[in-house]
Amino acid sequence: MDKLKTKIIEEGRVLGSSVLKVDSFLNHQLDVAFLNEIGKEFKEVFKDKEITKILTAEVSGIAIAAIAGLHFQVPVVFAKKTQSLNLDKDTYEGEVYSYTKEQHFKIRVSRRYLSKEDKVLILDDFLANGEALKGLRDIVEAAGATLQGAGVVIEKGFQQGGDQLRSEGMDIRALATISSMEEGNITFR
Amino acid sequence: MDKLKTKIIEEGRVLGSSVLKVDSFLNHQLDVAFLNEIGKEFKEVFKDKEITKILTAEVSGIAIAAIAGLHFQVPVVFAKKTQSLNLDKDTYEGEVYSYTKEQHFKIRVSRRYLSKEDKVLILDDFLANGEALKGLRDIVEAAGATLQGAGVVIEKGFQQGGDQLRSEGMDIRALATISSMEEGNITFR
C-alpha cells in the first residue's frame, strides 16, 4: 500500500535497531481517515475469504479492527490483557510475550463471543516476532473456530515471526513490509 | 438514543448493584455498525461545537472514539495507561481511580499530539464516578487546550460523577442515562 509506505517514511521515527514509532497515525494519535483507507484495503486483500468475525488484541489493534469491521460488516472482538471485574470468568486464553514490555502475559476472550461456527480474520498493527498473532491463534483454536487469515498493517520483515507463522500455514498479509531500518532510512521489501 | 436503550435492555447484564456489562456490543465484542450510529449521534449532539481533536482513554474508549472520529473528521488521541518503550517520555498526565480495578493509575498523552490550539471533545463508554473524565480533563488542561465538551455512551445517573463535573462547568452529554438498575430491571432517566 503505497500511501502507507509514504506515511511511514514521512511520519515514522526509528529508535534503536528495531523500534518503529508510528504513533502520529496508528497507535496513539489515530489518523482515522487513513485508518478507513487501511480498513478498505484489508477488505480488498481478503475479499475472497468468508469472514464472520474480526479478532484483535488490546490496545493498539482496536482502532484498526473497529474501522476495518465497518468494511467487512462483521462484529469485532478484542482480546483483553488484564483480568477485570468486567470480563467473564469463562474465557478462551492465549499466551503472548511482549518484547516492548519484556514480560509474558495472557490474553483472553469471553466464550460468549467466539464459537466453532466463526470464520475469523485476525488484524493487528505490527507483526515482528509474531507473539500477538500466536496468542490470538491460540484463542481461535481454543474456540474451535476457523482461522481464515491474518492482516497486519506493518510487518518487520527482518524479524522472524512472519516467516515462522507462514511456514505453519497462517495466511498473513502485510500492507507494508519493512526489510531493514535504521535512523533516517527505512527500506521496504 | 432509543436504539441504545433498547440494546442495553436486550443485551446488557446487571451484576450486583452497579456493574452493567455491555460487552456484547460496546467494550469487548464491538457491534461496529451500531458504533457507527453512535458516532453519528455524537456528531449530531455536538454539531454546534468546533472540534479539532477527540480525546479518549484506553481501552474501552478507543473503538467508540475512532469510529466517531470518522464523523467529526478529526484525529483521535487515546491516553495510555501504561508506560512502555513506545510512549514518548514527554507527556501530559492525568490521574484516574478505577473502581473496577480498585487502583489509582496515571494516564498519559504525548505532548506531540495535543496543543493549546486544540479544541477537544472527550469521548468515553461510561460515566459513573467521573474518574476517567477527570483524568482526561487534567490532560486537556495540562496542554492548555480548550475543552469543548464530553460525550459518553452510557451515564450511570445514580452515581455522582456527572452531577459533579457538570457543576464544575463540563458540558457532558450522555446518549443514555440510567437512573436505577437491578438484575432484570434497568430504568432510564
Domains of chain B, start order = 41-178 (3.40.50.2020)
Mutate to test the interface with A, among B19, B21, B24, B30 (most CBs of A within 10 A): B30
pLDDT at residue A17 tops 90: no
Mean pLDDT of chain B: 94
Instruction: Spell out a b/e string for B40-75, using b for 16 or more CB atoms within 10 Å of the CB, else e.
Output: ebbbebbeeeebbbbbbbbbbbbbbbbbbbbbbebb
pLDDT at residue B85 tops 70: no
> Mean pLDDT, to the nearest integer, of B13-28?
92
Q: How far is B170 from chain A (nearest CA, A)?
A: 24
Distance CA A130, CA B36 (A): 31
Q: How far is B63 from chain A (nearest CA, A)?
A: 5
Residues sharing a CB contact under 8 Å with residue A104, sequence separation 6 or more, in sequence order: A95, A96, A97, A98
Tell me which residue in B15, B36, B63 faces A63 most closely, judged by beta carbons.
B63
8 Å CB contact of A86 and B19:
yes
Q: In this structure, are residues A30 and B66 in contact, taking their beta carbons and an 8 Å threshold?
A: yes
8 Å CB contact of A30 and B70:
no
Q: Which residues of A touch B113 (CB under 8 A)?
A: 23-24, 28-29
pLDDT at residue B15 tops 70: yes
Report residue B44 as a C-alpha cell: 449530531
Residue A41's SS3 state is: helix
Summarised one tens digit per residue, pLDDT across range B154-178 is: 999 999 999 999 999 999 999 999 9
Summarised one tens digit per residue, pLDDT across range A20-36 is: 999 999 999 999 999 99
pLDDT at residue B150 tops 80: yes
Residues sharing a CB contact under 8 Å with residue A187, sequence separation 6 or more, in sequence order: A178, A179, A180, A181
Residue A157's SS3 state is: coil
8 Å CB contact of B28 and A80:
yes
> Mean pLDDT, to the nearest integer, of B92-118?
91
The 10 Å Cβ neighbour count of residue A90 is 9
| % residues pLDDT > 90 (chain B) | 85
Amino acid type, A162: G
Summarised one tens digit per residue, pLDDT across range A42-101 is: 999 999 999 999 999 999 999 999 999 999 999 999 999 876 666 778 999 999 987 777
Give B87's pLDDT tier (boundaries 50, 70, 90).
Answer: confident
| % residues pLDDT > 70 (chain A) | 97
Distance CA A51, CA A74 (A): 8
Mutate to test the interface with B, among A54, A62, A154 (most CBs of B within 10 A): A62
Mean pLDDT of chain A: 94
DSSP class of residue B85 equals T
Q: In this structure, are residues A100 and A130 in contact, taking their beta carbons and an 8 Å threshold?
A: no
Give A114's pLDDT tier (boundaries 50, 70, 90).
Answer: very high
Give the pLDDT confidence score for residue B76 in this predicted structure.
Answer: 98
- Residue B96, judged by CB atoms within 10 A of its CB (0-12, 13-18, 19+), counts as buried
Residues sharing a CB contact under 8 Å with residue A27, sequence separation 6 or more, in sequence order: A59, A60, A63, A125, B86
Give A111's pLDDT tier (boundaries 50, 70, 90).
Answer: very high
Q: B59: nearest CA in chain A?
A: A59
| % residues pLDDT > 70 (chain B) | 97
Q: In this structure, are residues A173 and A149 in contact, taking their beta carbons and an 8 Å threshold?
A: yes
